[in-house]
């Protein structure tokens, strides 16, 4: 009589390996969202004398972090959808960026900064 030994596979293949960067970022975003939603309750549990202003200041700070992260990820996502070579460029960014001269690097730094600032101001204008 032969015995058959079977290994029970994981239901999800990712469960056996380490978490990727996307999974870690997703977990951080979910934790920050939960913290944003329950910051008032947590703060009042820690300090019963905490006022509405204390809770509001922490909520605005967490909301700013969430909006900043969402803006960065949305811009990366849209760039990869609209411009396919950007994905290959982003994977080897250090090599490509170091091939540029110093004035080209400065132009890229300032253009990204001002375009990000313009996008945030444009989004605020839409919301307000």
66 and 98 housed in the same domain: no
Domain carrying residue 119: 89-127
Q: Is the pTM of this model over 0.75?
A: no
Place of tokens 């400065």: 106
Give pLDDT tens digits for 11-20: 555 555 677 7
pLDDT at residue 30, rounded to an integer: 83
33 and 68 housed in the same domain: yes
76 and 21 housed in the same domain: yes
Q: Is residue 10 packed enough to be buried (19+ CB in 10 Å), middle (13-18) or exposed (0-12)? A: exposed
pLDDT at residue 6, rounded to an integer: 61
> Which value, to the nearest 10 degrees, does the dihedral of the CA atoms of residues 93, 99, 100, 101 take?
140
Look at residue 72 and tell me if it is in a domain. yes
Closest to 58 (Cα-Cα) out of 70, 71, 40, 45: 40
The larger pLDDT score, comparing residue 55 to residue 82, is at: 82
64 and 105 housed in the same domain: no
SS3 45: helix
Look at residue 36 and tell me if it is in a domain. yes
Look at residue 50 and tell me if it is in a domain. yes
- Report whether pLDDT(121) > 70: yes
pLDDT at residue 2, rounded to an integer: 67
34 and 78 housed in the same domain: yes
């Amino acid at each position: 009589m032969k015995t058959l030994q079977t290994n029970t596979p994981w239901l999800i293949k990712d469960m056996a390996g380490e978490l990727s960067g996307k999974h870690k970022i997703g977990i951080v975003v979910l934790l920050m969202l939960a913290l944003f939603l329950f910051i008032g309750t947590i703060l009042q549990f820690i300090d019963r004398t905490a006022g509405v202003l204390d809770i509001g200041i922490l909520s605005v700070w967490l909301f700013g972090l969430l909006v900043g992260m969402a803006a960065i990820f949305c811009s990366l996502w849209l760039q990869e959808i609209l411009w396919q070579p950007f994905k290959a460029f982003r994977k080897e960014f250090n090599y490509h960026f170091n091939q540029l001269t110093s004035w080209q690097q400065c132009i890229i730094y300032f253009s990204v900064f001002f375009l990000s600032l313009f996008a945030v101001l444009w989004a605020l204008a839409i919301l307000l």
